[in-house]
Chain A
Amino acid sequence: MNSKVLKSKLIFDHLPAYASFLLENKLSECAKIQLTYSREENIPLLKFFGSYSEKQLLDLGKKTMSELLTAFSCNQVEQFIADASANYSKNNLTTLEREEVVAEDITILSFIRRKSLRVFLSTYTTDLRIVNEISEEIDRFSAANDAAIFGAFLEIKKEETHRIHNELQQKQEDLLEAQELTEMGSFLWDMKGGRSSYTPGVMQIFEMEEVSSLDSFMQYVHGEDRAVLKKAIDSALTNDGIYECEYRFVKNHKEKRIWSRGVVTFENESPVSMKGIVMDITHKYLMVEQLRQSEQLNKQAQAVTHIGNWIWEMSTGGIYWSDELYRIYGLEPQSEVMTFERWFDMIHPDDREKRLSEIKKSMSTLEVSDYTMRIMAADGNVKVLRGKGEVIADRSRKKMKLVGTCQDVTTEFNLNKELKEKEDYLKQLINNAPDAVIVVDRNSTISLWNPKTEEIFGWSAEEVMGKDLNEILIPPQNRDSYSKELHHFLQTGVSRVLNRTMEVKMLNKQNEEFDVALTISQSMQQGKILFIAFLRDITKQKQIKLELQKLNASLESKNSELERINKELESFNYVASHDLKEPLRKIQIFAHRILEKGSGEIPHATVDYFNKIITASSRMQLLIEDLLVFSQTTAGKDKFEQVDLNAVLSDVLNMLSTSIEEKKAVIASEVLPIVKTIPFQMQQLFLNLISNAIKYSHEGVSPYIRIVVHSVKGFLIHHPMAQQDTEYFEFKVEDNGIGFGEEYAEKIFELFQRLHNKDKYFGTGIGLAICKKILYNHNGFIVAQSEVSKGSTFYFYLPKEEVT
Chain B
Amino acid sequence: MALSGKPVVVFLADDDADDRAMFEEVIHEVDPTIQLTCAEDGKILLTMLQSGKYPLPQLLFLDLNMPNKNGKECLEEIRNSDRLKDIPVIIYSTSSSPKDIDDAFEKGANLYVRKPSSFQELRFIARAVLAMEWSNYKPFVVRNTFVFSYKSV
**Residues of A that sit less than 8 Å from B by CB:** 577-578, 581-582, 584-586, 588-589, 592-593, 596, 618, 621, 625, 628, 632, 651, 654, 657-658, 680, 683-684
Contact = CB atoms under 8 A, between A and B. Distances in A.
Contacts of B16: 582
Given A578-B94, A585-B117, A628-B97, A658 B151 contact: yes
A625 B97 CA distance: 8
B99 A589 contact: no
A592 B119 contact: yes
B80 interface: no
A680 B119 contact: no
Interface centre among A584, A585, A625 (most CB of B within 10 A): A585
A578 B66 CA distance: 11
Interface in B84-126: 94-99, 102, 115-120, 122
Contacts of B65: 578
A592 B120 CA distance: 8
20 contacts: A577-B97, A578-B95, A581-B94, A582-B94, A585-B115, A586-B18, A589-B18, A589-B22, A589-B117, A589-B118, A592-B120, A593-B119, A596-B119, A596-B120, A621-B117, A628-B97, A654-B144, A658-B151, A680-B98, A680-B99
Contacts of B98: 680, 683-684
A618 B117 contact: yes
Interface string B50-86: 0000000000000001000000000000000000000
Given A578-B65, A582-B16, A658-B151, A589 B95 contact: no
Nearest to A590: B18
A584 to B, nearest CB: 8
Nearest to B102: A680
A585 B144 contact: no
Contacts of B116: 589
Contacts of B122: 589
A654 B147 CA distance: 12
Contacts of A621: 117
B152 interface: yes
Contacts of A683: 98
B24 to A, nearest CB: 14
B78 to A, nearest CB: 22
A700 to B, nearest CB: 24
A581 B116 CA distance: 12
Q: Which 9 A-B pairs have the closest CB atoms?
A: A592-B118, A588-B117, A680-B98, A578-B65, A585-B117, A593-B119, A581-B94, A658-B151, A589-B117
Nearest to B143: A651
A588 B118 CA distance: 7
B87 to A, nearest CB: 25
Contacts of A578: 65, 94-95
B96 to A, nearest CB: 6
Contacts of B144: 651, 654
Interface in B116-153: 116-120, 122, 144, 151-152
A192 B99 CA distance: 146
Nearest to B101: A680
A592 B94 CA distance: 17
A427 B100 CA distance: 70
A751 B42 CA distance: 38
A566 to B, nearest CB: 15
Interface centre among A589, A596, A628 (most CB of B within 10 A): A589
Nearest to B18: A586
A585 B119 CA distance: 11
A618 B121 CA distance: 14
Contacts of B95: 577-578
Interface centre among A582, A632, A658 (most CB of B within 10 A): A582
Contacts of A596: 119-120
A136 to B, nearest CB: 188
A200 B65 CA distance: 142
Interface centre among B98, B115, B120 (most CB of A within 10 A): B98
Contacts of B119: 589, 592-593, 596
A386 B144 CA distance: 94
A582 B64 CA distance: 13
Interface centre among A592, A628, A683 (most CB of B within 10 A): A592
Contacts of A684: 98
Nearest to B118: A592
